[in-house]
Structure 1
């Protein structure tokens, strides 16, 4: 395999039937899907401008437009969902999930945020470009935050985007609501993990109540201020928060999952102006991770 190619023949055969056959509006058939997808992967893997793509992938405009289309019409998410269904049918998904976020610096070529922007959103519709483009302004500069939920073996299940200064706790219900793995056969999609592991940033009554209502074990430590407030209220403060310390030791899988994502330089630093195309690269990385896990499995 050359340095400009990532997908094996077996991996491409798995996702090729899931690629759209035409652009839909004019009915023009897409050509060279594999070459284009390899070009998209190459760009995010090495972190270069789209204009600097090697000529072996064809016109860079075609590669970018195809990625923009697939990010906006849900193609990447559909492929990821289908691969998760295949993995779940084979019993490969570890349903002890962990969640966290990572802050990535936005390169100056990606910073199209107005200096005075109000109403920054901490959650974006996956297929609609948010007004703030998923970029926030803070003391550390302009940053984007990837909110991530992975299984117990570091494999990505849900990836959402928000501005860098956005809080983690408000994203907790969105991450859980976005977790849905369809069945290959009849039956409802699985959306309830066995337990959810998260750090103190996700410790809130609302999040714990959500997990309790859905029958999911919470493995989230209590913040010191919450503990002090509970003790100060005495019997009215409620029971102490239970924590499975042995299970909590496994929460580091989400940090290790981020390390795998950031092996692609175009994800470790955000170069994309659009949140849609940047998140599309994140989902594409998740697809390649799962393709490697599935291997030659039929």
Structure 2
């Protein structure tokens, strides 16, 4: 195996049937699918410019165009969905999920497209480029947030991108709405986790009501200002929300997930101009994490 090989034969056997070239796509079939996919992974892992991808992966223009296409038509999401279905059928998915976000600085090469400030981010339509390209200005400068919902072992289930200055709580309903794992056999997809662990940023009446309405346990601490406001109102303020301190200790898996994500330099710093391609790289990283978790034997 060469130093640039990034997928084992077993891992490729899992994702190859889920690519468009294996699904009866019309038109001329793609050539060298494995070489191109490995070139995309290599680029994000090393954080290099597309034109600097080693020639053994093929023309860099082909590699970029293939990734742009797979990010825009939902191919990476379908591959992740297929792996999640297999993992759930094997009992590998821990449905005690955790939620959080991480801010990633945008490189100057990824911020030179015109942007509409305050435009809706691409959680409205995952496969349509938002006007702001999911780039915003936070304290650290131009940045992008990756919002993630992970299982109890820290493996990603849902990934969305948004401008860096955006809050975490407004994104939570969209994350939970996109949680859907199809069954391997008959039956409706599973969309309801057992519990959701989140930090104080997710402590809001709207989020607690949403989880309560769907019979999902909320493991979210109450911030000091909300505690004070509730106490000042006396009996009208109601009882404090239930909070399991021991269970909350499991929330750290989402932080460890971000550490794993940022081992790919092309995700730790955003070099992509388009939100579609940047999110596609994040979903591809999630695919690689689940491939490692499932092993080489399909």
User: TM-score band (shorter)?
Assistant: over 0.9
TM-score by length of 2: 0.97
**Residue 153 of structure 1: aligned partner:** 153
**Residues 174-224 of structure 1: per-residue CA shift (max 9 Å, x gap):** 111110000011000001010000000000000000000000000000111
TM-score by length of 1: 0.97
Q: How does 1:91-110 map to 2 (within 5 A)?
A: 91-110=91-110
**Residue 259 of structure 2: aligned partner:** 259
**Residue 37 of structure 2: aligned partner:** 37
Q: Take 1:209 and 1:194, find their aligned partners in 2: how far apart are those partners? A: 15
Q: Take 1:198 and 1:93, find their aligned partners in 2: how far apart are those partners? A: 18
Q: Take 2:272 and 2:192, find their aligned partners in 1: how far apart are those partners? A: 33
Distance apart, 1:120 and its partner CA: 3.2
Q: Take 2:126 and 2:32, find their aligned partners in 1: how far apart are those partners? A: 26
Question: Do the aligned residues in 1 keep the contact of 2:50 with 2:60 (CA within 8 Å)?
Answer: yes
Q: Take 1:56 and 1:262, find their aligned partners in 2: how far apart are those partners? A: 25
**Residue 73 of structure 2: aligned partner:** 73
Q: Gapped runs of 5+ residues in structure 2?
A: none
**Residue 129 of structure 1: aligned partner:** 129
**Residue 60 of structure 2: aligned partner:** 60
Q: Take 2:223 and 2:155, find their aligned partners in 1: how far apart are those partners? A: 28
What is the aligned-residue RMSD (CA, Å)? 1.5
Question: Do the aligned residues in 2 keep the contact of 1:122 with 1:167 (CA within 8 Å)?
Answer: no
Q: Take 1:223 and 1:50, find their aligned partners in 2: how far apart are those partners? A: 44
SS of 2:20's equivalent?
coil
Q: How does 1:268-279 map to 2 (within 5 A)?
A: 268-279=268-279
More off after superposition, 278-287 vs 121-130: 121-130
SS of 1:21's equivalent?
helix
**Residues 244-289 of structure 1: per-residue CA shift (max 9 Å, x gap):** 0000011000000000000000000000000000000000010011
**Residue 19 of structure 2: aligned partner:** 19
**Residue 246 of structure 1: aligned partner:** 246
Q: Take 1:62 and 1:290, find their aligned partners in 2: how far apart are those partners? A: 26
**Residue 120 of structure 1: aligned partner:** 119
Distance apart, 1:229 and its partner CA: 0.7
CA 1:136–1:30: 2 relative to 1, 3 Å:
same
Q: Take 1:258 and 1:52, find their aligned partners in 2: how far apart are those partners? A: 26
Q: Which runs of 4+ in 1 moved over 4 A?
A: 22-26
SS of 2:99's equivalent?
strand
- Tell me how many residue pairs correspond in the alignment: 297
